[in-house]
Structure 1
């Protein structure tokens, strides 16, 4: 009836068989189809890039993104899961450049844009098969056959529609601004891209002497970017801060911020000589418009050609006193604050850096990359006596998120979306989202929105969605919103136009103002706009699928790693706010980054990166999924450690699997068919009712927690239940399955365990889909052809409130607490649990029914368990003051308190302390109260007993061993050793054996004396006093003996 269960806990091969079963039977497709009339629950899958390999972090994201939709499907919802591919952008271009041996835009142009674009198309599918295999192995269910692809015309056309909406609202504009710029890639980046690429770097900063015009005095100004100094046109001070003119110990006269004098000039001090002498003090505004000599002649010449005044002091409150000199140098082409000051004072615009990041020919550093120019600039300034200091400076510096080149802030023309105009709506829409955890939504993400900047949308690249703006020489601009509109306006648009460069570059449209031909601007757009448009673009909305889009917008659930707060999460909200003025998703689980076992970031260069394919082959998907669900809250960093994965697998999956194997072993022997019986009609014992109560409470907890995106809490509820089921219910009730024949009690035991196994498997199916499918197929589908074809086509369990008995659970909890305390007492007395003892006395809040007392007696191997209010005969307590707390509180009364404590009745004092939490004493100053922290409690064991107290419960075990008890202990040890040898020898549970005893007459005599009991327990047909081939020497309570087992 049932397939034999292999108790090997390596699940990898079984998981592969389940994947094949799902594919062969089309289970994923059926899970969607069977719920097609259900209420929609919408999930958006953040699109990966298929030209990069999956890493271990993708196991986490796929585990979470798969689990919630599986759960909602089992709850009856229709949960479509359309996969997607992010195909545009710098990542792809850089990969193709590397493949073709190209370096930069010039070489791409020489190679040819069209063949380069074709190579990009090929590249994006490089690892598609690997991703699909990876997703299948992880158990990630999604529609891979009909994915959305961001480079398809339909997707781009939907983006064009959105961009036109934004343009027509006056929110898409062209501006000359300081932008984060990657010289290597030759393109500006958006602020959210910049946020992903910061690195901590140590560089030389510069404290420079700027000579004041017509005076032998100098401004001391500071910069962290020496390469910008050749483009200097002004200095800036804080208008409200105090500045000082000082005579310094190096002979120079300087002007700088008073607050920073010691920091900057302090090193000049010598013995008997101050570092500086203050000559005058000024307010920042007093210095405004003071002139100085150009630091570099090239800047002076450029300014002269423009006919603009420069090289004077400006004022702005962005200048701080936290570091530097309180005076900063201004180069309006290379910084947002600099640019703002430049516009305010109408300064000359000097930009001695070209689009490749090289210094221009006007400077002494022509052709040198800006970062490489730093030391040369410093050296020249030092040679000319203009460099005061060049201290090392550690700071976070932005690097390109894809090519890792340092970025520069660079003035250029770019296209922007005016996010600052919709800032309030962004914040309001964000407040409608349920962030898990909430702190990221209100903190990290909320703070980002409060400081939102206009989105630099354009990229001076090739492989991307073309910016749909056409310009005419007459100044007219037009945003095209569809292919149909393009064809109507263009005299030369091909019927099968591909919306990519270079094809779209050749399409002109007729200017509605002057009739001339308009040309498209050369830029493509930020690829984050692609992924952020997926809610509507995946459906080619608004050109088709209008009802489908409206049904599936906004999403009920999304999930990605924490770095997407400034990536996909932001682009989704930004575009949705701009177009629809609503949040694009209702719930989001933010995932922490996966680190190595030491908490370090994984990287190939460090050699600590975990290969996800090797990990999946070693541990299996369920084990890794379970680890990610339980190791920590999803949003915290996950330290991936194989030992922790294995331990989690053993504790939950191993325990569940072994309990399932136990059921199958005996149910198969008895040919038990659960479909022939009813749990409702079964004659349930207290233990059965207890397990079913715990089971229904578990169902409630899992359902509530998963419904509210509390994943670790749901997993813990299942893990606790599986532990209860295996280590209490099954262990306590094994003998019920050993009874001959099919008694009412045996039926109740089988039905209870079968129900518990099926129910917890259904609850766990969204989390560990493979092991639960294995269990379901063997104990449900094998006996019930009418049952759903897969566990993933079943409904999620519903708790039976009538079966929940909280009093029963509370009583059993107390029983287990007493058992744990009793075991601790045994350990304290150095008495093994297999050694029977005569009696244990228990003092607790209330007595338990005889059924529970019997459980305690059996668990602790006691002949008798008695409840008693008075345990004074077995233990006494002595109290002393805890000096470190009582001393400061009561000082000179310490001796009185010590004496008072020694005179207490130990038991009454202990009872008072347990019930009230404090102990009252009368001393010369009156009544005082001592808390538990104020006293040291020593227990005094009475002869013949070992006593322990915890949580208001006291147990006292008799330690006296009679000859009869000692003999019984030996017999229990022999039985235990024989059972261990049966298991080690691979014997089946019903195999009979011949038992051999050799090498110890005392043990041989005991075995012969208790022959009947031993033979019954170990299924021995015969006991021989002789040697055996399959034998092993054991130490039984200090007696050496050789035991042999041979299968009959």
Structure 2
């Protein structure tokens, strides 16, 4: 109730009753009235000389849902102007609502609410936090789907496994990078780290946390884990490269932990303290973009293209990664040629090459082109001519039967008249596909003649 007391023409404003005969105002103030005083009432106001008021008012950022702009934000604004003659905050960041997987607002009546403590018990607080920030664009609603929480948990588990790999391969946690001894792969990952820091910083400054998280996830999972960690397994076996590779692994991992800490505080704190003498990640220096090696990205892209296309070829012909291949590379560009020669051991390892030749001749080969390299892979490594012929004849026989079956159905008047239109259309589509597949099989069989 409003703390106003009346007795005749007299009025008093106070919490306790002034005495006998005084009657309290019967109206009440809604909760938003007192909430509107929050920006300054918690800082020693009305004493505007209070250290907290002078230090923290106006505040920097108010984070709130768009559904209470009128109830809360606007009232904080006009009460801030009224009592302090200042804006109560510099920036208002609006976030959306978390809805159920069908897009409905969570409510007691629908019984579709989710207790965050239950989610934390199962997946941990970090997974829930990362789900929220990685799936929430400013001002946009988010659908709660347990699969997305599980994806966040899987990502954190990936981060844990990455860290364990680094921990097991580090001899000295104080090792520092020697720029004179960096491989092209070291230069590439350090350059990409600097670019990632710059991009993430920009997203943080604009409060686009979902974009920041996606940028970090892509770098950590698709580049650092999928490529550099695998490459480092080769470098770590070379005594002359081992120390610097350890330094790069450690440097990148520390910066990753710092970038992720606002979103994943508990796991990053634990992992960071295992590789750092600092008392806490929270007071460590924020990452800075430091490295930029101009040629490293293009040369690594060449390596990535070659490895990816060979792997795709293996997949197309169902050839196991464990089977060695005979590979010849045609290279015209001198920079690329020198790169391939210098890092031949990496190419051989990732391609699993039985023989690896540059600018040599090879007969009966399959050609694959990349931007700077033409790849020739010995056909017999990929294809068993006898097995391929048997498989093609089997497919031809199956298709001939299906073509006859489908043609008979489409020439059957009863089927055309009584079957649903969708069924007839589906059968015509199948028939056309069978003919195309049959034509392709015949062409491939002609090559065996």
TM-score by length of 1: 0.33
- Indicate whether 1:945 and 2:344 are aligned: no
Match of 1:565 in 2: 69
Match of 1:577 in 2: 81
Match of 1:608 in 2: 112
Equivalent residue for 1:961, pick from 380, 399, 407:
380
Match of 1:770 in 2: 266
Question: What is the 5 A alignment of 1:258-657?
Answer: 462=1, 466-468=2-4, 473=8, 480=13, 499=15, 503-504=16-17, 506=18, 521-543=25-47, 546-650=50-154, 652-657=155-160
Match of 1:658 in 2: 161
- Indicate whether 1:750 and 2:246 are aligned: yes
Judging changes above 3 Å, is the alpha-carbon distance between structure 1 residues 569 and 518 closer, same or farther for their aligned structure 2 residues? same
- Indicate whether 1:815 and 2:306 are aligned: no
- Indicate whether 1:710 and 2:129 are aligned: no
- Residue 364 of structure 2 contacts residue 379 of structure 2 at CA under 8 Å; is this kept in 1? no
Pairwise CA distance, 1:715: 1.6
Pairwise CA distance, 1:824: 2.4
Equivalent residue for 1:861, pick from 326, 346, 352:
352
Pairwise CA distance, 1:841: 5.1
Q: CA-to-partner distance for each residue in 1:277-320, whole Å, 9 max, x for gaps?
A: xxxxxxxxxxxxxxxxxxxxxxxxxxxxxxxxxxxxxxxxxxxx
- Residue 6 of structure 2 contacts residue 12 of structure 2 at CA under 8 Å; is this kept in 1? no
Q: CA-to-partner distance for each residue in 1:225-276, whole Å, 9 max, x for gaps?
A: xxxxxxxxxxxxxxxxxxxxxxxxxxxxxxxxxxxxxxxxxxxxxxxxxxxx
- Residue 539 of structure 1 contacts residue 545 of structure 1 at CA under 8 Å; is this kept in 2? no
Higher share in strand: 1
What is the CA–CA distance in structure 1 between the aligned matches of 2:208 and 2:229, rounded to whole Å? 29
Q: CA-to-partner distance for each residue in 1:778-820, whole Å, 9 max, x for gaps?
A: 1213xxxxx3x111121212222xx222431233234323433
What secondary structure sits across from 2:296 in the alignment? helix
- Residue 945 of structure 1 contacts residue 957 of structure 1 at CA under 8 Å; is this kept in 2? yes
- Residue 561 of structure 1 contacts residue 590 of structure 1 at CA under 8 Å; is this kept in 2? yes
What secondary structure sits across from 1:589 in the alignment? strand
What is the CA–CA distance in structure 1 between the aligned matches of 2:301 and 2:141, rounded to whole Å? 34
Judging changes above 3 Å, is the alpha-carbon distance between structure 1 residues 947 and 519 closer, same or farther for their aligned structure 2 residues? same
Match of 2:407 in 1: none
What is the CA–CA distance in structure 2 between the aligned matches of 1:791 and 1:749, rounded to whole Å? 23
What is the CA–CA distance in structure 2 between the aligned matches of 1:701 and 1:580, rounded to whole Å? 38
What secondary structure sits across from 1:961 in the alignment? helix
Note the residue ranges of structure 1 that are not aligned, 5 or more in a row.
1-461, 484-498, 509-516, 782-786, 875-941, 967-1048
- Residue 826 of structure 1 contacts residue 957 of structure 1 at CA under 8 Å; is this kept in 2? no
RMSD: 3.5
What is the CA–CA distance in structure 1 between the aligned matches of 2:288 and 2:315, rounded to whole Å? 42
Higher share in helix: 2
What is the CA–CA distance in structure 2 between the aligned matches of 1:573 and 1:721, rounded to whole Å? 41
Pairwise CA distance, 1:645: 1.5
What is the CA–CA distance in structure 2 between the aligned matches of 1:759 and 1:599, rounded to whole Å? 37
Judging changes above 3 Å, is the alpha-carbon distance between structure 1 residues 719 and 795 closer, same or farther for their aligned structure 2 residues? same
- Residue 169 of structure 2 contacts residue 246 of structure 2 at CA under 8 Å; is this kept in 1? no
Larger RCO of the pair (alpha carbons < 8 Å, separation 6+) = 1
What is the CA–CA distance in structure 1 between the aligned matches of 2:40 and 2:181, rounded to whole Å? 57
Judging changes above 3 Å, is the alpha-carbon distance between structure 1 residues 632 and 961 closer, same or farther for their aligned structure 2 residues? farther
Q: CA-to-partner distance for each residue in 1:1000-1025, whole Å, 9 max, x for gaps?
A: xxxxxxxxxxxxxxxxxxxxxxxxxx
What secondary structure sits across from 2:325 in the alignment? coil
What secondary structure sits across from 2:62 in the alignment? strand
Q: CA-to-partner distance for each residue in 1:716-735, whole Å, 9 max, x for gaps?
A: 23223322222111101213
- Indicate whether 1:761 and 2:257 are aligned: yes
What is the CA–CA distance in structure 2 between the aligned matches of 1:618 and 1:520, rounded to whole Å? 51
Equivalent residue for 1:851, pick from 339, 357, 367:
339
What is the CA–CA distance in structure 1 between the aligned matches of 2:206 and 2:376, rounded to whole Å? 47
Pairwise CA distance, 1:564: 2.0
Judging changes above 3 Å, is the alpha-carbon distance between structure 1 residues 738 and 856 closer, same or farther for their aligned structure 2 residues? closer
Note the residue ranges of structure 2 that are not aligned, 5 or more in a row.
385-449
What is the CA–CA distance in structure 2 between the aligned matches of 1:519 and 1:606, rounded to whole Å? 43
What is the CA–CA distance in structure 2 between the aligned matches of 1:521 and 1:790, rounded to whole Å? 53
What is the CA–CA distance in structure 2 between the aligned matches of 1:583 and 1:829, rounded to whole Å? 67
Match of 1:790 in 2: 280
